[in-house]
Each structure stands twice: as structure tokens, then as C-alpha cells.
Amino acid sequence: MASKEMYALGSQASVIRDLFAYGQEQAKIVGSEHVFDFSIGNPTVPAPACVKEAMEDMLDTRESVAIHGYTAAAGDAVVRQGLADYMNQTYDAGVKANNFYMTCGAAASLTITLKALVETPQDEVLLVAPFFPEYTVFIHNAGAHEVILPPDTKNFQISMEAMEQAITPHTRAVIINSPNNPAGTVYSADTYTKLAAVLNRKSKEIGHPIYLISDEPYREIIYDGLPILYVPKFYPNTVICYSYSKSLSLPGERIGYILVPDCAADAHHVYTAVCGAGRAMGFVCAPHIFQDVVLKCLGQFSDVKLYDDNRKLLYNGLKDMGYECVYPSGAFYLFVKSPEPDACAFSEKAKKLNLLIVPADSFGCPGYVRISYCVDPDMIRRSFAAFQTLIDQYK
Amino acid sequence: MASKEMYALGSQASVIRDLFAYGQEQAKIVGSEHVFDFSIGNPTVPAPACVKEAMEDMLDTRESVAIHGYTAAAGDAVVRQGLADYMNQTYDAGVKANNFYMTCGAAASLTITLKALVETPQDEVLLVAPFFPEYTVFIHNAGAHEVILPPDTKNFQISMEAMEQAITPHTRAVIINSPNNPAGTVYSADTYTKLAAVLNRKSKEIGHPIYLISDEPYREIIYDGLPILYVPKFYPNTVICYSYSKSLSLPGERIGYILVPDCAADAHHVYTAVCGAGRAMGFVCAPHIFQDVVLKCLGQFSDVKLYDDNRKLLYNGLKDMGYECVYPSGAFYLFVKSPEPDACAFSEKAKKLNLLIVPADSFGCPGYVRISYCVDPDMIRRSFAAFQTLIDQYK
């Protein structure tokens, strides 16, 4: 007596959540110091001080109804102007307050954007493997279906041949995610340039624009001084989905935005449909106090150096043991090739050593595992003996 | 190049928002003291002190990652246990933590519940006029369509004959809302008893359970010492949609819950589908800090006495002038019969006097207007001259 589809979604076990739950149980048996949980991507670096200061300041100086009242559905106008100013100063983006629609985080940004863009059940949305598994759920919710591009396991960029072949007259949008969860890689300017060329050519060929949905929750978590690229500069027909979950360590508070720049095709039309989709799904407005928090914290971020230290520690440690690791340039995931073809079997062997690492099959990339390093560095150090024991089994 | 349906929803003018925007503009011309805006239902009574205290306490005593991290998708287990304890102590509800799914407010509670319950495009969801207009948007989002019961303009309860006639084999659910927006009325125990009898009989007749979705954002905003009734006691097959927007004056923060009690048909199945629907639409979890705020504020509410004072002032004032008013027992709306059949024309005449009142056509109840009294009492007093001028036009 309920939707079969929703029941299936609600009862579906997530590999990540299962591993995490297993770790919690094991910790009770063997002690938490003997469980090495690299399963989930919950930020461990605290929010920058400005978050607490902003909240305290508001509680001290503003009336309750001003702090907690409804905002406009798209978000407070002053906050959106602040976002526009910041994007213009930082990326020369040329955007206005009215290009922003504030959301309850990255997942909401994506479900709303997809629902706004999808027109018919024949619509196809392209995913570039490896990709965040919930993308397929969100695409189905919008009434479309996914077409998956196989991973470029050489460089973890995008295979333009595969992209070219995958596009059909039904292609509505392409979702990309850089820095990438799970691969920890970052798309280069060259990749964006080539991608834009393919999408422009193909858009012309199929007779309608292909939207690029750039999912950027890890935008500022980037290493080695790599530049942050503003995607619409390469391909104007881009909608940016952003979240402060990682950049301000606020994952539980659900705050982010959709940016539909004027350079996107039918920008005003798409933006209006975004407003409609948010309304249809009952989002009403993004949490008010966190709208103001992000305004007061513009340009400030959680301390990425702590993730960077973990990154170096883990990457160098595992490489020295003989693991084949994808060089991590962003986000907080290390992507490691399974020493046997079946990454699930590998993950199971790791689990026996209380080492919880996620097989990447559900990310569209079999044969790899994802290791989240948003963890205590001490746990990384303590885990090395187990990682050594694990790889020794393959020697 | 976007969903036509979402574009239409995004561009659709809302009567309420239009009036509100008009009022803001008029205030610049004639001065805000000469504009009497009774259009929107934004709480004006501050949140109780416990809200600020709870937030300050958390900011002072907890680590950032503990305050702002992800919770389980259904909400923090300790918070949900607190909700269960409160409901059991207050209403002898017999519920457990796992009956609660925390949401981003009432709209999310409804969109998730509807998406969880609707099985086929033939499914019908019954609405009892007058009703909150967004219900139809939420029903369409779930893929079903609405069947509207005409208003019982005598008592503003439910016409059981109309209910009986409206139910078909496709009826999946009935949405009720008491205290009612826009009528300001409260369903009696007698109404619930009769409704349960009809729904039980009809469920048997059509061969499957009819779910009662009880939308209760105004639950505690109730006057004259009327009892708050726990709906599943009358009709077990009930799903409660709740929000703290009004009861704690937190409308912008998006916090509420869905309660699927074990007594509901296939309760576990429905609850699981609720989890799936929340996931599909990208809700992830309800804002974390406000989950903890509601836990720390259990049993505390915004000061209803202030609304009660407004209620008496407005009701008595308008009645004395000769307006035909529905006696308000709950929420913060006064429902007034238009002195001419066309409530839109009446509202337009009011607008010329800078009196902003909402024609109830979009609420499924033509011939009436909704007057929100969650306003400054001084504005009510200052508005009386205009209300007098308005009704004099009909004498």
C-alpha cells in the first residue's frame, strides 16, 4: 500500500552506509581504536570560526522573526547579491542576484535542476563514470534516465570519443563533478575546452542545447595550487549546483545554491523552471539562518590544509606499500585500484582486517575502491599495518 | 528548453505573494503606516526563548562537526526518541523513534508523504475545501490528481455525504488540515469520529486502505481551551505531517516531521517508502541544528496569547461593523464572507483602501476572503477605519 519504487529506494541498502554501520558494531567488539573506517565522506574539519561568530552575532543583534522568518523562495535578496558579488570578484562571473536560487544543499540543487530541465520521459542525462551513485536516483525522480560513460581509467578526465558517441537527440544534460567523488581527480582546462567543443558541436547537430550540470560541492577542496575554474567560461550553457556542506563543513544544515548564469541557453526560462521545481517538491526556502551564515562567511572555508596533510600521508603510505593509487588532486577521497579484479572481494578481505573501504562498483567504476580521508590522521597512521597485511595477501 | 510544467509553476503568480508585493510597493508611496497587509501567514510572534538558548548552548558546548554534521536521513535517533516520548506523554500516542521521519518543514512532509503513498497515475487524493492551494501542486508532483470536496460553509467541518460520494476505487488518501488554513476552524471529535466511520466503511468497500494525511502545522495554535486531538486515535490509518514553522515561529528554518504510527495500514512499508521518497527528492536530512533545537524545546511554544488577542480584536471589530465572519478557533486566519458574490472584486475594492486581504478562490472556497492576523495589533486597530469604509460601500 505504498509506492513500490519509493519502497525499493527506502529499503535499498547502501554499500557505504552498511560498511559504516558494520564499523560502529565492530568498534563495540574490538574497540574503536582497532576499526579503520574510511567509508563515509562526513567532513571532519570544523567549520571556520566565522560560522559560529555569524550565528552568535545574529542571535545577539536580530529579532527572532527576522532571523527565522520565511525568505523569498529563491533565497534572501541581500544574500543572493552577496553571492553574485563574490562570484564576480573571484571568477569574473558576470552574474546577478537573480541568477541564484538557494537550496537545501547539493542533493536539492541537483533534484531541482534536473526536474527543471527534463521535458519528456525519453530524455537522457549523461553521467561520466566514476560518479556519485545518487545521481541515478535524482535523474529517475525527474522522470528521465541515465546514460553512463565508461571511466577514463588512464587519466580520470573525460573520454571525448565516449561522450561524442553517447549523445543522442534525447540528450538533455550532462552531469559532471570536479573535484570528483569518488576519484579525487580534478578536470583540467584542456578537458573543459574539449568538452565544450563536443557539446557545442553536438548541440548543433541534435538541434537543441545540451545543458552541462556542474556539481561542485568540492570546488574549493583542491590541492597543489591547482586553479579553480569557472565552468561557464568554457561552456556557457552550464548550470552550477553548489553546496556549503564541504567548503564550510555544514553537511547537516543543508545549504547550497543553483546558479543559472545569463549565458546559459534560455537562462530565464530555466531559472523560472528551477523556481517551479523547488516549489513542486516542497522546498519553500533554504534554511534562513544558514543563508545569512554563508553571506557572512563569503570567501572563507574550512581548513583544507588538514585534508591535504591526510592526503599526502595516505597516498604516500599506500603507494610505498605497492598500492596503485589515482593521484588525488581534490575532494577528500583516494581512489585505489583493487589488486584483484573484483573490488567487492577486495573490500571484503579489507573488512576482515577492520579496514572499511568502499568498492566503486556503485560509482560505475568496478575494480577500484574509494578511501575517504576526511578522518583523524591518527587513524590513518594506525591503519597502515592493516593495509600492509592486506596487500601482502596479493604478493 | 525546460520543463513546461515546472516553468508554469515557477512563473505562476500567487495571489498572496502578489498582494504582499503590492503592499511593499504601496508602503513606499503612502507610508507603511497606511498599508494594512493581512495577506501572508508569516508568524509575527517571536520564537520562545528556548530556541535562542538551545542554539547558544550548542554553539558554546559542542564541537562544530557534532553540531553541523550529517544526521541519519530520518533524523537523529536521540531527537526522534524525544519526539516519541513527548507524543506519548502528551497524547498517549504509543509511538517509537522509528515512527518519525524528520523533514524540512510542512511542505516537505507533504511532498514526501504523497510521493510515498501514490502508486499509479490514476490515484486520487481528496481535498476538503477550503484547503491550502499548494496541496494540488504537491499531489501533481507525486503523480496523482486531486478530487475536491466542496466546502461545508455552514460549519466548516466535513460534509460526510460529499466525502462518501467522492471516494472511488482510485482514492489513495485524504488530506485534512485542522486548525485550518484558511478558515481558522478546528475539527471536532464528532467530525473525526464520523470521518473515521466513512473512511473505514469505504476502505472495506474499495478493497484497500484510504490513508488520512493530517497536516498539522497549526496543531498548538488553538483557542478557547479546545482540546488538541490525536487523529490516529480516531482513525488509525493516519499519517501526521507536522512542522515547527508556526508552533516555534521558525518558518524560514524548515523543520518538521512525518509520523507514521504503527497502527497505520502497512506502517513499516509506508515508512520505508517515506524514506525512499525523501531520498529521491534530495532531502538528505532535516537541518541538524534545528533537529536539536526542537528536542530542547519540546512542549514549548510561541506565545499563542498574542495571536488570541489579535483574534478577538479583529473578529469583534469586523463583526460589529457587520462583516459575516467564520468564528476562528485555531491558526491565525479570520475567514470572512465577501459582501458581494465575487470575492476577487471585493478584495480589489479593499486593495484600493490599502487593505490587503486574500480572496479564497484559490483555496477552493469562492465568496470568502482570508485575513491573516499574525500581524502587529496596532495595524489591526489602524485598519478598522478602512474596513468600515469598505463595508459602507455595500450598505
pLDDT digit string, tens, across residues B151-177: 999 999 999 999 999 999 999 999 999
The C-alpha cell at A360 is 566503486
Cα gap B302→B295, rounded to integer Å: 15
More confident residue, A370 or A40: A370
Cα gap B58→B48, rounded to integer Å: 17
Contact A68 B289 (CB under 8 A): no
DSSP label of A132? -
DSSP label of A37? E
CA distance A298 to chain B (A): 18
Nearest CA in chain A to B172: A1
Rg over alpha carbons for chain A, rounded to the nearest Å, is: 21
Contact A364/A131 with Cβ under 8 angstroms? yes
Most A CBs within 10 A among B64, B114, B137, B243, hence the mutation to make, goes to B64
DSSP label of B13? P
Residues of chain B with Cβ-Cβ distance to A280 below 8 Å are 5-6, 9, 111, 137-138, 140-141
What is the bridge-based pairing of β-strands A36-37 and B171-176? unpaired
Amino acid at A297: C
**Packed helices B4-11 and A105-117: angle between N→C axes, nearest 10 degrees:** 110
pLDDT at B280 over 80: yes
Question: Could you give the C-alpha distances from A250 to A55, A198, A302, B287, in angstroms and in order?
Answer: 13, 36, 10, 10
Can you give the pLDDT at residue B15? 82
Contact A223/A330 with Cβ under 8 angstroms? yes
Residues of chain B with pLDDT > 70, as a percent, come to 100
Residues of chain B with Cβ-Cβ distance to A269 below 8 Å are 1-2, 7
Cα gap A249→A374, rounded to integer Å: 11
Task: Name every residue whose Cβ is closer than 8 Å to that of residue A100 and which is 6 or more positions away in sequence.
Answer: A74, A75, A80, A83, A84, A257, A258, A259
Predicted confidence (pLDDT) per residue in B176-211, tens digit = 999 999 999 999 999 999 999 999 999 999 999 999
Selection from A188, A185, A172 nearest residue A237 by Cα: A172
Task: Name every residue whose Cβ is closer than 8 Å to that of residue B352 and which is 6 or more positions away in sequence.
Answer: none
pLDDT at B330 over 90: yes
What is the bridge-based pairing of β-strands B238-243 and B355-356? unpaired
Amino acid at B40: I
Element (H, E) at B102: strand B100-103
pLDDT at A40 over 90: no
Predicted confidence (pLDDT) per residue in A318-331, tens digit = 999 999 999 999 99
C-alpha dihedral, A259 to A263 to A268 to A272, nearest 10°: -30
The C-alpha cell at B154 is 455552514
3-state helix, strand, coil in chain B (%, to 5): 45, 15, 40
Contact A59 B63 (CB under 8 A): no
DSSP structure string for B249-318: T-GGG--EEEE--TTSTTHHHHHHHHHHHHHHTT--S--HHHHHHHHHTTT----HHHHHHHHHHHHHHH
Tell me if chain A has a CB within 8 Å of the CB of B5.
Answer: yes
Residues of chain A with pLDDT > 70, as a percent, come to 100
Nearest CA in chain B to A117: B2
Cα gap B68→A247, rounded to integer Å: 13
Tell me if chain A has a CB within 8 Å of the CB of B111.
Answer: yes
A–B: how many Cβ contacts below 8 A? 271
Give me the phi and psi of A300, to 5 degrees please.
-110, 150
The ipTM, to two decimals, is: 0.96
Q: Which of residues 121-150 of A touch B (CB under 8 A)?
A: 134, 137-138, 140-141
Contact A93/A232 with Cβ under 8 angstroms? yes
Exposed, middle or buried, B110 (CB in 10 Å: 0-12/13-18/19+)?
buried
Selection from A187, A145, A180, A141 nearest residue A166 by Cα: A145
Predicted confidence (pLDDT) per residue in B243-259, tens digit = 999 999 999 999 999 99
Contact B213/B114 with Cβ under 8 angstroms? yes
Question: Could you give the C-alpha distances from A8 to A11, B111, B116, B275, B355, in angstroms and in order?
Answer: 5, 18, 11, 10, 51
Q: Which of residues 15-44 of A touch B (CB under 8 A)?
A: 42-44
CA distance B307 to chain A (A): 15
Contact B1 A209 (CB under 8 A): yes
Contact A104 B254 (CB under 8 A): yes
The C-alpha cell at A115 is 526536474
CB-CB: which of A71, A137, A252 is closest to B288? A252
Q: Which of residues 327-366 of B touch A (CB under 8 A)?
A: none
Question: Could you give the C-alpha distances from A146 to A126, A127, A137, A175, A204, in angstroms and in order?
Answer: 6, 7, 9, 10, 21
Omega before A130 within 30 of 0, i.e. cis: yes
Residues of chain A with Cβ-Cβ distance to B115 below 8 Å are 3, 6
pLDDT band, very low/low/confident/very high, at A24 (cuts 50, 70, 90): confident
Tell me if chain A has a CB within 8 Å of the CB of B381.
Answer: no
pLDDT band, very low/low/confident/very high, at B268 (cuts 50, 70, 90): very high
The C-alpha cell at B146 is 486531486
For cell 484558511, name the residue. B182
pLDDT at A281 over 90: yes
- CA angle centred on A172, ends A169 and A176, rounded to 5°: 125
Averaged pLDDT for residues A205-216: 98
Residues of chain A with Cβ-Cβ distance to B252 below 8 Å are 67-71, 285, 287-289
Can you give the pLDDT at residue A18? 83
pLDDT band, very low/low/confident/very high, at B16 (cuts 50, 70, 90): confident
pLDDT at B13 over 90: no
Averaged pLDDT for residues A132-144: 97
Tell me if chain B has a CB within 8 Å of the CB of A54.
Answer: no
Residues of chain B with Cβ-Cβ distance to A292 below 8 Å are none
CB-CB: which of A42, A52, A249 is closest to B59? A52
Give me the phi and psi of A366, to 5 degrees please.
-60, 155
Predicted confidence (pLDDT) per residue in B102-115, tens digit = 999 999 999 999 99
Selection from B137, B102, B108 nearest residue B289 by Cα: B102
Is the overall model pTM greater than 0.95, yes or no? yes
pLDDT at B1 over 80: no
Residues of chain B with Cβ-Cβ distance to A7 below 8 Å are 269, 272-273, 276
Q: Which of residues 150-179 of A touch B (CB under 8 A)?
A: none
Task: Name every residue whose Cβ is closer than 8 Å to that of residue A235 and which is 6 or more positions away in sequence.
Answer: A192, A195, A196, A199, A200, A212
Can you give the pLDDT at residue A19? 87
Contact A354/A34 with Cβ under 8 angstroms? yes
Element (H, E) at A160: helix A160-166
Q: Which of residues 271-290 of B touch A (CB under 8 A)?
A: 271-277, 279-290
CB-CB: which of B56, B270, B284 is closest to A1? B270
Cα gap B249→A70, rounded to integer Å: 10
Tell me if chain B has a CB within 8 Å of the CB of A225.
Answer: no
Predicted confidence (pLDDT) per residue in A88-137, tens digit = 999 999 999 999 999 999 999 999 999 999 999 999 999 999 999 999 99
Can you give the pLDDT at residue A205? 98
Can you give the pLDDT at residue A1? 76
The C-alpha cell at A76 is 534572501
Predicted confidence (pLDDT) per residue in B19-69, tens digit = 888 888 899 999 999 999 999 888 889 999 999 999 999 999 999 999 999
pLDDT band, very low/low/confident/very high, at B140 (cuts 50, 70, 90): very high
pLDDT band, very low/low/confident/very high, at A232 (cuts 50, 70, 90): very high
CA distance B245 to chain A (A): 9
